Structure 1
Amino acid sequence: MSAQLPEEWTLAASAFNWSPELMVADRTSPEIAASIGASGVASVIELEAAQTWRTFPHLDDAETASIRETLDATGTSVSIVGASLDDWLTATARRSEDERHEFLLPQLRGAQRLGAEGIRLPIGQAGPALLERLLPDLHEHGLTLYEELQGQQSPDKPQHAAAVETVAAIDDPRIRLLVDISMLMPSLPPSYLAKLRAGGVDPALVDALERDWRNPATLAAVQDALRDSTVPPQVHTMFMNLVIRFGRSDARELRDILPLVSGVHLKFWDLDDSHGRISNPIREISSELAAVGFTGTLCSEWGGHEWIDSLTPEQATRAHLALAREAIADGASTPAPA
């Protein structure tokens, strides 16, 4: 018998996990998304608007109806649609507030027509004025807008604190936060460290990353390597994960914002759960969420497909969901530490 989640907690999978198959392009994005439900991996999924609609950002009504029909045929439902907000008309001309609003409206309509519960944007991108303007649209369409915190975007940083305060000040359940547990990494993925070693990164630095990721001195060494241009060009983009996508926070540090959280991304990179590297953050955030009466979706999201080709998206997601279900059930039934 599988572990039981609390009522009104939904475990989902992101179609983003299937990005490698999207690049192969032997099936359409909606067909791949529908296969997640058809294969029994997850009946509830997240979609990325830019990956799903060929007519993005306009989201043609006929295409939306076709996507809905494809998903419905396999009993696959949509929790959140990852929206995109392109702030620039050209390389030098920004969109006006009217144009930013108009850019998002088709994505709201598309999400509603797919039966989604909400859309997602990066923390702070919309800004206070656009959030206030979108509020009547969100109520009209029955959608929630989620502002996502991830990686190094801890809420104690001024720019992110201001965005969180905006959500709190609006004080409407149609605008909420989504936390990606890439914020809560106790150590780095062994598969990632192996790629850095193979790519020629200074072995002493990789040793420090493996041994002492959360030490501020380790992050300072990362920044020194970037500043001194000692990172090999072939792994430079991958190396940037250390200052952007990999976080160093603890679940209890999020307590002040958790009453505003209605969605969680269970980000994972590989399946190595040595010392609870994957399961402990899930267990800890679940305990904290249970303490504030959380309701919403927890979604498996695989970032490691960028450097791992030994697993298929289905294999990786299925295994991660099984691990996550156990960790969520355990954490939600365990009181959060004082």
Structure 2
Amino acid sequence: MTHSIKRGVSLYSFQEEYFLRKLTLEDCIAVSVGFGALGIETIAEQMMPGFPDLSDDFYRRWDAWREQYGFQPTAHDMFAELKLYPDRARPTGELVEDLKKDIDHTARLGATVIRILAATPAEVVELAAPYARDKGVRLATEVHAPRRFSSDWFASHFEVAERVGPDVVGICPDLGIFVKRLPKVLWERSLRDGADSDFVKRVVDVYDSGEDTSTLQDEAERLNLGPLEQDIALQATRFIWEEPRQLLDYMPYIHHVHAKFYEIDDSGEEYSIPYQEIISVLKEGGYDGYLSSEYEGNRHIQDAFEVDSVEQVRRHQEMLTRLLADED
């Protein structure tokens, strides 16, 4: 099937190596481009010290990197500082002004999308939309587990998108809403930590069969199990499986996709997320934006293995290349 879907990388994927100073911001860009992923999604708070008050020198370096490596800035990930005041909600006007700074930064990078944090109030997005339109920036609220398309939360944000128009306001689906099997790196870590193997198997079986996971914590308590079992039961409630064909209902509003993954194994496949099925739906719907690799397996293996985010992203990009080339 002919399509215009493009490959990119969220630099969030390299948080481990960046934190340990194994990779610089420029290194993260160079690695991604080396895999043929020319769309670069950035995390300013994580990798651009001084944000939002970045110097002209920083932006000059950024422009030089764009020319040197030939990449396209795709999205800036914003974070709403919702809890600056411990005793009251932060005023809406302040949140709007902060979002305008994110919009300015996104435009200056040469990107066209802001990933709006799911916790950002819908009214903040709506109030900032005219400013974003003037700057040529689209506001894409992240649809992230455990939030569902059927939730009141999604309804409130989608109502704003419909009022304002998909040319400015839309969504950024995170593929973590399509977790069909509980991530293996998650429950393997639980076993290494010493959780009861029978109960871990029970949690995995309940999740993978599509049963209700909300009762698992009560079950662990009834069995007089400890904090490790309580934790895996709780974590299972934070993953969800949505039917990928639901994406077809929102295609005009999908401005960016977080291609979440937890592990690409030696066979080149993602254990938890049915990528072939999802990409087929995106092709069918005419999606023409970026699939931005977002590796989140590192936190589950740090106890026993050296994290190699670069290798994981390489494998993920190979998988995307193969699936995007496949005829459906």
TM range (shorter): 0.7 to 0.9
Q: 1:234: Cα distance to partner? A: 10
Contact between 2:251 and 2:286, CA under 8 Å: does it hold in 1? no
In the alignment, does 2:165 pair up with 1:171?
Answer: yes
Distance change (3 Å), C-alpha of 1:11 and 1:307: same
Alignment match, 2:15? 19
Q: Deviations over 1:217-275 (max 9, x none)?
A: 45134342687794536994x7654223x222221244323342122111110113889
CA distance in 2, matches of 1:110, 1:176: 19
Give unmatched runs, 5+ long, in structure 2. none
Paired residue type of 1:282 = Y
CA distance in 1, matches of 2:230, 2:13: 22
Distance change (3 Å), C-alpha of 1:299 and 1:5: farther
Alignment match, 1:248? 241
In the alignment, does 2:103 pair up with 1:103?
Answer: no
Contact between 1:199 and 1:232, CA under 8 Å: does it hold in 2? no
Q: 1:32: Cα distance to partner? A: 3.0
In the alignment, does 2:40 pair up with 1:45?
Answer: yes
Paired residue type of 2:313 = T
Correspondence list, 1:56-75, <5 A: 56-75=51-70
Contact between 1:118 and 1:143, CA under 8 Å: does it hold in 2? yes
Counterpart selection for 2:120 from 93, 107, 125: 125
Q: 1:214: Cα distance to partner? A: 4.1
Contact between 1:5 and 1:329, CA under 8 Å: does it hold in 2? no
Contact between 1:58 and 1:107, CA under 8 Å: does it hold in 2? no
In the alignment, does 2:158 pair up with 1:161?
Answer: no
Paired residue type of 1:267 = K
Q: 1:142: Cα distance to partner? A: 1.1
CA distance in 1, matches of 2:157, 2:266: 33
In the alignment, does 2:196 pair up with 1:199?
Answer: no
- The farther-off stretch of 226-235 and 10-19 is 226-235
Distance change (3 Å), C-alpha of 1:114 and 1:241: farther
CA distance in 1, matches of 2:311, 2:270: 19
CA distance in 2, matches of 1:295, 1:67: 25
In the alignment, does 2:293 pair up with 1:297?
Answer: no
Identity of aligned residues (%): 22
Alignment match, 1:220? 214
Give the TM-score, by structure 1 length.
Answer: 0.84
CA distance in 2, matches of 1:151, 1:193: 18
Give the TM-score, by structure 2 length.
Answer: 0.86
Q: 1:5: Cα distance to partner? A: 6.9
Aligned Cα root-mean-square deviation (Å): 2.9
Distance change (3 Å), C-alpha of 1:69 and 1:241: farther
CA distance in 1, matches of 2:279, 2:234: 29
Paired residue type of 1:299 = S
Distance change (3 Å), C-alpha of 1:19 and 1:276: closer
Counterpart selection for 2:27 from 26, 32, 48: 32
CA distance in 2, matches of 1:5, 1:235: 47
In the alignment, does 2:10 pair up with 1:6?
Answer: no
Contact between 1:214 and 1:248, CA under 8 Å: does it hold in 2? no
Distance change (3 Å), C-alpha of 1:5 and 1:272: farther
CA distance in 1, matches of 2:275, 2:117: 21
Contact between 2:170 and 2:253, CA under 8 Å: does it hold in 1? yes
Paired residue type of 2:300 = W
- The farther-off stretch of 203-212 and 177-186 is 203-212
In the alignment, does 2:205 pair up with 1:211?
Answer: yes
Paired residue type of 2:71 = T
- Report how many aligned residue pairs link the two structures: 324
Contact between 2:39 and 2:290, CA under 8 Å: does it hold in 1? no
Q: Deviations over 1:285-315 (max 9, x none)?
A: 2222233322211111111011234452211
Give unmatched runs, 5+ long, in structure 1. none
Paired residue type of 1:76 = F
